[in-house]
A and B are shown apart, each in its own frame.
Chain A
Amino acid sequence: MEALATGHLFALTGAVLVGLGLFGFITLRHALRQLLAVNVSGAGVFLMLGGLGRGAATTDPFPQALVITGIVVAVALTAFGAALILRQAEEDHAAKEDDERGGKT
């Protein structure tokens, strides 16, 4: 009974995280915040997946293997997204400076 309850705990927490992430993605406008919101949702999905392998006596390693792979993929994409956001910020900054210089002369 307790094992069942903890199993549900993982799934329910995961669902809450997915929902929070989605809410954040829709309501937040800044790209960095949206990227973090997607990560919160991703953590929720990984929690659900991770909780699946939990049995009464033994633990099925298959879902865990998927979660590890998924986390690696998610980290890579987050780093890539962060680099893109940085590049965008640099471009915006340069464009703004150009505007100001153009305004003075």
Chain B
Amino acid sequence: MSPLDLLVVAPLVFMVLSLLAGGWQRSLLALAIATMAALSVWLMTLDPGTAHVVGGWELPLGVLLRADGLAQMLVPAVTLTAGLTGLYALHQFAPESHASNAQTAAFWPLYYLMWSAANAAFLTTDLFNLYVTLEMASIAAVAMAAMGSVRAALRYLLIALLGSIFYLLGVALILSRYGTVDVTLLAGMAEADFATALALALMTGGLLVKAALFPLHGWLPPAHAAAPAPASALLSGLVVKIGFVITVRLWFEGLAAAATPAGLHVLGGIGALAILFGSLQAIRQESLKALVAYSTVAQIGYLFLAFPLIAGAGHAWAGLSFHAVAHMIAKAAMFLAAGLMLKAAAGPRIADLAGLARAMPLTVTAFGLAAVSLMGLPPSGGFSAKFLLVDAALRQGQAIHAAVMLIGGLLAAVYLFRPLAVAFSGSETPAVPAKAPSMVAAPLALALAALLLGFAGGPLAELATGGAPATVAQEPPPSLENTVKTASEDAQ
């Protein structure tokens, strides 16, 4: 047995147990969090690149699970995000709560299924197995979205299914061309011919739908805004990252031979448009959850804007991994805090939040701290990520990329200050029903984690670059202090 196996299998075991647990969901969740936390720590101690074939079937037939730097960062982040979101959800979907019984019964299996799908997606290198994990994630995500709005969930499901068809078509082309679907084997075999480029384009198209990259993001805001708060946190934090990570594995490892600079720049350009469009839409929203959902559309843009910067000077790869983790944690914190604020507020609009900062200071603080990370203000994790990306863009002379990232940060400040300003406005203190302590603590802990991530910048960036694919610029592992020093020397 290896932690790589267990990280995928254990949540599935918990999924089955959650169907039988009845009133024992609380104990089961505690057991799940302890197990997954231990496995995540074990994963982080593995040498980067440690791999394990499932069931002893050797490649090219078997399925490879591998702990590279990206997985070693994202899987523990999933444990943190899913674990704390689970603690919050315990009160919303507890057997004794007033939520309808069907929802209570349905939430927990879906929650563990999504956890397993996310871990499997970040650890697997087998393209067909990744198709299966994409569909696992889709079922869990759509069913969770359906708890809010069936119409939005149905739209999400149909578009996700279409994305899967495109992805699978690409996989079929790769299988017929190379006879294998394993990313590590493809990395040594892939050639820059028409079939490979077509397969890459098809798979990327399908994955961008799942990652909700502009202009394929249409399904995301209604689905994420309507879902219950813990479901929104998981949808925006975990699910969109799955499509992104698979895209990264294709473009920089498996099919890197066919990934032309022009293609990378197209993805980067779409990412830039996503940042601007998502931010402007977020500014226009009247409803708090729609604002947070459009912020996800914008933040996904950063992940793809980094694509053309990966191969050049600087530490774009570390910045990319860092941003994925920082956004996952901060956005989950923000959705959970928003959920609590909306329960206390008179209505779903931002204007209804007046006075909440006095009524629920801890929750509004969590929202504010998450906003600090999403805006990219120091010393948060979001700052470290954006600093590494902007620094890489400037070193490579990509002034437009750097400018878009800085403008995106300013726009994020514009849309995130608005709900905060309203929450601090007014002179009355609305009466707020008391909340379970863990429900208040979960978003606060996540927001603090997103903030503290910035202090662990150096070691985490080192972790991210461990086992990075050969196409990534290999420079000595960055530490933020050194980068600041060189940047100021460059300036002089």
Contacts and interface: CB of A to CB of B under 8 A. Distances in A.
13 contacts: A38-B165, A45-B169, A48-B169, A48-B172, A48-B176, A49-B175, A52-B175, A62-B61, A70-B168, A77-B135, A77-B139, A77-B161, A80-B157
B424 interface: no
B158 A38 contact: yes
Interface in A46-66: 48-49, 52, 62-63, 66
Nearest to A63: B175
Given A62-B61, A84-B154, A73 B165 contact: no
Contacts of B176: 48, 52
B161 A31 contact: no
A52 B168 CA distance: 14
Given A25-B162, A35-B158, A81-B154, 18 more contacts: A18-B169, A38-B158, A38-B165, A41-B162, A45-B169, A48-B169, A48-B172, A62-B61, A63-B175, A69-B128, A70-B131, A77-B135, A77-B157, A80-B139, A84-B154, A85-B154, A87-B150, A91-B150
Interface of A: 18, 21, 25, 31, 34-35, 38, 41-42, 45, 48-49, 52, 62-63, 66, 69-70, 73, 76-77, 80-81, 84-85, 87-88, 91
A76 B172 CA distance: 21
Nearest to B143: A80
Contacts of B142: 80, 84
Interface of B is mostly: helix
B132 A73 contact: yes
A65 to B, nearest CB: 9
Q: Helix, strand, loop or mixed for chain A's interface?
A: helix
A62 B182 CA distance: 13
Contacts of B165: 18, 21, 38, 41-42, 45
A45 B176 CA distance: 12
A47 to B, nearest CB: 10
Nearest to B160: A77
Contact of B146 (A21, A77, A84): A84
Give the 9 A-B residue pairs with the shortest CB-CB distance, closest first.
A38-B161, A41-B165, A49-B172, A88-B150, A73-B135, A48-B172, A52-B176, A45-B168, A84-B154
Nearest to B138: A77
Could you say which interface size class chain B belongs to?
Answer: 20 to 34
B124 to A, nearest CB: 14
Contacts of B162: 25, 38, 41
A88 B154 contact: yes
A45 B157 contact: no
A41 B162 CA distance: 9
B343 interface: no
Contacts of A49: 168, 172, 175
Contact of A87 (B139, B146, B172, B175): B146
B151 interface: yes
Contacts of B175: 49, 52, 63, 66
Contact of A45 (B135, B138, B153, B172): B172
Contacts of A18: 165, 169
Nearest to B157: A81
Contacts of A25: 158, 162
A62 B179 CA distance: 9
Contacts of A77: 135, 138-139, 157, 161
A80 B142 CA distance: 10
Nearest to A42: B165
A84 B161 contact: no
Interface in B127-149: 128, 131-132, 135, 138-139, 142-143, 146
